């Protein structure tokens, strides 16, 4: 019987993640409400808190799936990219842009998830970020062979943040939106210029 | 008598902007509620909508003031900067970082204000962004004398977005926070590398 209960809890957990993923993808993180999830799942509101600590825990589980999909897209772009490390960076950054544009709400949830001030990001989150950063630091190490690992880590983080900023402001029609074509142009401009004098 | 009414409306308008500015600065945009503003101002909830179309209009008025303060800080940093255009870019970008860190909620409200999908940013907003961009494009034009105005505009927007991304992710402890010293290092790294081969 204990096995059945555990099984049901696991099924509800998986179901709630899928439901929350759909809600975030269509309406955005800020519209996510526990009562809507309970209603979609056909369970009592309290049942959610039997399997998740709070709403943020569900969002983190959804974000884990989004990180995996993003990583898969970046890896697929890399597989088709030329051997040239600078072109690899450009192709991956443009894949990042495409993913963000096609999954706007889910992508924004990766960065908009709220955490208590001072509370560190969970290990799995930092691990997922680390995986993404490895895609960038590998070609960067080829372009900048004389930088030590610490400098390379800083370069990697700076470049990722730069591409993220270009995509974020570019996709945000409310502040200073630019056509999607120009986002890819800006990405290529920054990356080529950045790597032109190693 | 009409003059008195107009005067009172103007006074309430100014007062609501100051009150909203304080609320946003201390609690962030997402916690802003019309009923709290009415309570702080000692007016009826409906009175707010006699002087502003909606809450977003108040936020835009607050953002205008934040843009002006940011511009003043960047201008002050520029006044003390060396004549070298690359150093000017570095000093201004680091002033941007300092402003964002010291005015985190107000700065985030500049980018987080919600607008109906497809609705363009108001002209004054684009004008304020344009003013900030002029601070960047002037030294960039010295570094890249052979780029045409269109390329220069794209370079300017790409560099601003890059610095914005570095500051945004750097100050966000929830995702991939880095120590403040590293933010300035990354800014200098990106800007110097970017301008090293014009």
- CATH number for region A1-53: 1.10.10
- How much of chain B, in percent, has pLDDT values that exceed 70? 90
Distance CA A177, CA A56 (A): 29
Name the residue with higher pLDDT: A48 or B174. Answer: A48
Banded pLDDT at A5 (limits 50, 70, 90): confident
Residues A144-179 have pLDDT tens digits of 999 899 889 899 989 999 999 999 988 876 555 456
A161–B161 CB contact, under 8 Å: no
Distance CA A180, CA A99 (A): 12
Nearest CA to A41 out of A58, A66, A20, A57 is that of A20
Q: Output the average pLDDT for chain A.
A: 88
Residues of B in contact with A183 (CB under 8 A): none
Residues B53-70 have pLDDT tens digits of 899 999 999 999 999 999
Residue B191 has pLDDT above 60, yes or no: yes
Which among A111, A174, A190 has the least Cβ separation from residue B113?
A: A174
Which among A111, A170, A173 has the least Cβ separation from residue B118?
A: A173
Distance CA A163, CA A180 (A): 14
Contacts of A56 (CB under 8 A, 6+ apart): A113, A114, A115
Residues A66-112 have pLDDT tens digits of 999 999 999 999 999 989 999 999 999 999 999 999 999 999 999 88
Residues A47-57 have pLDDT tens digits of 999 999 899 99
Residues of B in contact with A114 (CB under 8 A): 174
Residue A33 has pLDDT above 90, yes or no: yes
A163–B165 CB contact, under 8 Å: yes
State how far residue B130 is from chain A, nearest Cα, in angstroms: 10
Mutate to test the interface with B, among A174, A186, A194 (most CBs of B within 10 A): A174
What pLDDT was estimated at residue A113?
A: 82
Chains A, B: CB contacts within 8 A come to 128
Domain ranges across chain A: 1-53, 55-194
Q: Give yes or no for a contact between B95 and B52, defined as CB atoms under 8 angstroms apart.
A: no
Q: Is the torsion defined by CA of B183, B189, A112, A52 positive or negative?
A: negative
Mutate to test the interface with B, among A93, A109, A137, A158 (most CBs of B within 10 A): A158
What pLDDT was estimated at residue B36?
A: 96
Q: Which alpha helices (DSSP H) does chain A contain, by range?
A: 2-27, 34-41, 45-51, 55-80, 85-102, 104-112, 123-143, 149-171, 180-194
What pLDDT was estimated at residue A129?
A: 78
Give me the residue label for tokens 């503003």.
B37
Assigned CATH class of A55-194: mainly alpha
As for the ipTM of the complex, it is: 0.88
Name the residue with higher pLDDT: B85 or B1. Answer: B85
Average pLDDT over every residue of B114-129 = 73
A169–B111 CB contact, under 8 Å: yes
What pLDDT was estimated at residue A198?
A: 66
State how far residue B22 is from chain A, nearest Cα, in angstroms: 20
Would you say how long chain B is, in residues?
Answer: 198
Distance CA A191, CA B194 (A): 9
Distance CA B134, CA B195 (A): 17
Residue B174 has pLDDT above 90, yes or no: no
Residue A2 has pLDDT above 70, yes or no: no
């Amino acid at each position: 019987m204990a096995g059945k209960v555990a099984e049901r809890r696991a099924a509800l957990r998986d179901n709630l993640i899928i439901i929350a993923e759909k809600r975030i993808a269509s309406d955005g993180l800020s519209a996510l409400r526990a009562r809507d999830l309970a209603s979609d799942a056909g369970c009592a509101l309290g049942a959610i808190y039997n399997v998740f600590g709070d709403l943020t825990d569900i969002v983190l589980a959804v974000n884990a799936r989004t990180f995996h999909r993003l990583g898969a897209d970046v890896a697929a772009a890399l597989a088709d990219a030329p051997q040239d490390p600078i072109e690899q960076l450009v192709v991956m950054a443009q894949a990042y842009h495409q993913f963000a544009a096609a999954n706007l709400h889910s992508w924004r949830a990766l960065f908009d998830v709220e955490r208590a001030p001072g509370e560190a990001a969970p290990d799995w989150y930092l691990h997922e970020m680390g995986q993404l950063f490895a895609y960038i630091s590998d070609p960067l190490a080829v372009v900048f062979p004389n930088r030590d690992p610490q400098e390379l880590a800083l370069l990697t983080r700076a470049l990722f943040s730069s591409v993220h900023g270009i995509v974020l402001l570019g996709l945000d029609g409310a502040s200073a939106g630019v056509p999607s074509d120009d986002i890819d142009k800006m990405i290529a401009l920054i990356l080529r210029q950045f790597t032109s004098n190693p």
